[in-house]
Amino acid sequence: VVLKKSDGIGLPSLNAFDEKILRSIANQTRRAKKLFSVHVAELKSARNEVERALELRPSFIVHATHADEEDFVSVQKNDVPVVFCPRANSLLGVGTPSIHLALATNVRFCFGTDNAMVCQPNMFKELSFAWACLRRADPTAGGEEARKLLQAATIEPLKLFNLPWGPVEGGGSATFMVLTRGNNLTNLTNVYAGLVNRTRADNIRKIYARGKIL
């Protein structure tokens, strides 16, 4: 019944379920052609969850806060995207994800806000915080890394969830956002770095969905 009414199944923890039940849930979700995800390695004590999760062939994994480089290499080889939630991780006191390692190992990733009880679901704030975390871990991170963060909040979710939108081009769905360059978005030395670090909700001028202004 759940699979008929939902987009898929997302599990909060691997340790909350028996191994046979986990495999059954994963298999049934795949057979129904729905999304299957699981939260992994949010705590230091759960670092071993990454490999266990990959054995279940998930559509994506969430958090990977304490995943190391070896974990990210395995994730990349299995072509499993990660959804990072850096603000929620930080506010809950469990750490912040190693986004620099995900970039270094060419892992596909997106950003999520995770928990509305902990932090406002604001993707601009998520990007800005992720950029700060990345710069702290890798002070050499610049425009190219910022572009990949922006991609993680825009293009990658389209691929992951098979959403019917795409680039602004002839014959496309014309679904996009227009930002004003006033105030905090003026005089950007690097457009990508400026967008991920400075953009706020009040910079939104218009939102188009399938050619219509919302």
pLDDT along the chain (214 residues), means of 10: 92 92 97 97 93 97 98 98 98 97 99 91 97 98 98 95 86 90 90 97 94 92
| CA distances from residue 183 to 62, 150, 187, 203, 210 in whole angstroms, order as listed | 35, 20, 9, 9, 29
Confidence at residue 131, expressed as pLDDT on a 0 to 100 scale: 99
Cβ atoms of 88 and 121 within 8 Å: the answer is: no
Long-range contacts for 125-128 (Cβ within 8 Å, ≥24 apart)?
Answer: 125/87, 126/85, 126/86, 126/87, 126/153, 127/153, 127/195, 127/196, 127/197, 127/199, 128/196, 128/197, 128/198, 128/199
Confidence at residue 169, expressed as pLDDT on a 0 to 100 scale: 82
**Separation of alpha carbons 74 and 45, rounded Å:** 19
Output the CA torsion 5→7→13→17 (10° steps): 50
Give this prediction's pTM.
0.94
Confidence at residue 151, expressed as pLDDT on a 0 to 100 scale: 97
**Separation of alpha carbons 212 and 214, rounded Å:** 6
Using alpha carbons, select from 158, 165, 162, 196 the residue that is nearest to residue 179. Answer: 196
Confidence at residue 194, expressed as pLDDT on a 0 to 100 scale: 97
As given in the structure block, the two tokens for residue 193 are 């770095």
Going across the sheet that includes 204-209, the strands are: 176-179, 204-209, 212-213
**Separation of alpha carbons 99 and 96, rounded Å:** 9
3-state secondary structure of 36: strand
Confidence at residue 84, expressed as pLDDT on a 0 to 100 scale: 99
Which CATH fold topology does 2-163 show? TIM Barrel (3.20.20)
